[in-house]
Structures are given as structure tokens and as C-alpha cells.
Chains A and B, each alone.
Chain A
Amino acid sequence: MKSFNLVVRRTHLYLGMLLIPWLLVYGVSTLIFNHRGAGPHGGTPWERLWEKPHTLKQVPNAGNLREVAAALLSEQGLSGPFGAQLQGRRLNINLQNFRAPMRLVLDLDAGRLRAERKVFAWSELLARLHFRTGYNGGGLALVWPVMVDLFCLTMLVWIITGLILWWKIRESRRKGWLALGAGALTFAVLLVLL
């Protein structure tokens, strides 16, 4: 019984130690989102890196968009998770990167390819760290969503182990029930009133 108690305590603690950076990122970024005004949040501007003539070998359409974008990135020596969008006669490719996201903009009519990089800002870095989810990259990019999953599962583990640890402290049971009940009641009432 003592060893089970110890396993619960150490699991709670060591997972916390491991995930400190994510706790800080999610905490500070949420504070920014919660106190940002209602106005537009376009963020920092894009700075132009280069521009050159370019013609695609394949005409992009909804069916081959990712394939065409991947080929274009490869030709430019760029790699990593990306999103592609066809906007009229313009192809936009957004390359994900926490510190300096890039985008390629190809004007299909003019045959001009432009590369741009987002000007750095701490608030935007935190937002990118907060919002990045999904298994849409290879290599190291695959580790991030694994950490996001680990963080989410750890939150559930913290709740379960936290409840066990609370129950073990007999003198705290009454106040614990009050805290748990008050939280659940506040949550339920707010959901109904929202």
C-alpha cells in the first residue's frame, strides 16, 4: 500500500517536472488571449526575403494542391509541415515554424514566386506554441503532437492521482469536498447561463 502511494506521488510529481515548459506556455499564452481586445489580430507583418520568376510544371487544383505545393517546396530546398491554399490565381504555402514561419506566394498569372517571413514577436511565438496541434509533419515535427497528447493525458493523470492524494489526507476531505463541489457547481451554472 505504501509503495502504491509512493508511485502515485512520484507519477504526479515527475510528470509535472517533465511538462513545466508546456504548463508555462499554455498559462502565459492563455493570459494574453483572455486580455486581448476584440479588434483584429493580424499580428506582425511579413517581411520579404526574395522574389523570382517561377512557372509550375503542373497546374494546381483542389485534387493535387498538396502534391504541387510539396514539389514547389522541395525545389526551393524547403521542408517541414505546411498548409497550401489556392486563392483565385494565387498559390499560398504556409510553412510552420515556431520562431519564424515562412510563406511562399506564387502569382500564377505573372509567374512570380515570393518568399516571406513573419516578423518575430513573443506574443505570436506563444500563440503558435499554444495552437500547434496535429500529426501533419515528419521527423522532429512529429514529436510536438506526441507531447501535446502527453500533456492532455497527463492532465487526466494529475486529476486522478490528485484525487487519490487528497483522499489520503483525512483532515482535508471536508474542505476538499467543498472545493470540488464549488468548482463543479460554478462550472455547471456558467455553462447553463452562457
Chain B
Amino acid sequence: MKFSKLVRRTHMYLALFLTPWLIVYALSGIVLNHGHWFAAGHGHPVPFEKVGEREYQAVFSEDADVRGIAAQVLEDLGLAGSFSVQGDASQPKLVIQRGGAFSAHRITYFRLQNRVLIEKQTFTTPMFLNRTHFRHGYQQPYVAPTLWAVVVDLVVVALLFWVLSGLWMWWEIRPARAWGAVFGAVGLGVFFLLAFTI
């Protein structure tokens, strides 16, 4: 395969594979840029509703790590997956935020009372888009979030590759050189004007 064709096909197949992510980033970008239109997804979080409250008997050693405790609680509740936890292991109350793709749970573990309160956030499309937009990083010890972070890296590689391959393809199309240069110059001009003034 000729180099030029290889560049074109890679540009295209990469985009086809990443289409769902591009749709999410485009739509969530609009939600974030127009926060007041989608108040529930921007600055005004959707409230949590109580799902249940139950007894939770568990003994953790004194040196137990707070993330370890939270992971165990989630696993016992059948909610294992990426999470964040407020507080440290010595506190009598731990608040665990379990952010799934379609739902978010908040688990409050009252350690002295051996009780857990389970709350769930109602699904809204703007919230889903924003959560999906901001999902990144390799900090969670689970397979799915790690694979998601790998795809985020692939999106980054694709963005950079699309710029380089796009420039290559533009230069190959002789009739498009002049107008392409104009659009490129306008883009650079607007960007640097804004970056240096606002």
C-alpha cells in the first residue's frame, strides 16, 4: 500500500472506531458550554434518592486502608467498580461515591452502627454525558476504567494523528492549498489572539 493511501485509511478507520467517543465529547461539550440550558448537569447536581438502608456487619483491622474498606463495602453490596471515598479509615462515617456510566450511587457507611445507607442519583442525559466526558485516568484498580483510559489515550493519539495526516492530505490536494492555508491562518490567528488577550 502506498504511504499516502495508508495515511488516508488510518485517518478514516481510526475515526470510524472512535465515533461513539467523538459523539459523546461533542454533545457533552455543548452541555458544558451552555450550562444554564442543562442546569441539572452543570453546577446544580441531581439530588440523590434513598434506595435502601441495611445492616452491614464487618470488622476491619486497625491498619485497614480507607480505599480497601470502601472497595470491600461496594463488593459486598454488589456495586463493585470505580469509586471515590471521603474521609479516612479512623472516621466513624465513610461516604463512598460509586460512579457508574448510567447511574451514580452514594453509600454512607456508619461504622459504629454497622449500617449502610444506599442512595442513587436519577439518570439524566446531561449528567451521563458529563460523567462520560470527565472519565479518565489509570487510578482505579478495575479492568473497565483502565480500558476506558486506554481508549482516552487512543483518542489523544487520534487527535494528533488527524492533525498531521490532515495536513498531509491537504498538501496533496493542490486545488485546496490556497483556501486551506486561509482557514489554517484564520484558525491560528483567532486562537492566539484569544489566548493572549482573554
**Chain A residues proximal to chain B, CB less than 8 Å:** 10, 13-24, 26-28, 30-31, 33-38, 80-81, 96-99, 129, 133-135, 137, 140-141, 143-145, 147-149, 151-153, 155-156, 158-159, 162, 165-166, 169, 172, 175-176, 179-180, 182-184, 186-188, 190-194
Contacts and interface: CB of A to CB of B under 8 A. Distances in A.
A159 B25 CA distance: 12
A20 B163 contact: yes
Given A162-B12, A176-B12, A152 B33 contact: yes
Interface of B: 9, 12-23, 25-27, 29-30, 32-35, 81-82, 99-102, 132, 135-139, 143-145, 147-149, 151-153, 155-156, 159-160, 162-163, 166-167, 169-170, 173, 176, 179-181, 183-184, 186-188, 190-198
Contacts of A81: 198
A194 B145 contact: yes
Contacts of B22: 155, 158-159
B184 A20 contact: yes
A30 B137 CA distance: 10
Contact of A152 (B29, B82, B135): B29
A152 B136 contact: no
Nearest to A177: B16
Contacts of A28: 156, 160
Contact of B144 (A26, A140, A166, A190): A190
Contacts of A147: 190-191, 194
A14 to B, nearest CB: 4
Nearest to A29: B156
A14 B159 contact: no
A135 B35 CA distance: 9
Contact of B101 (A38, A172, A194): A194
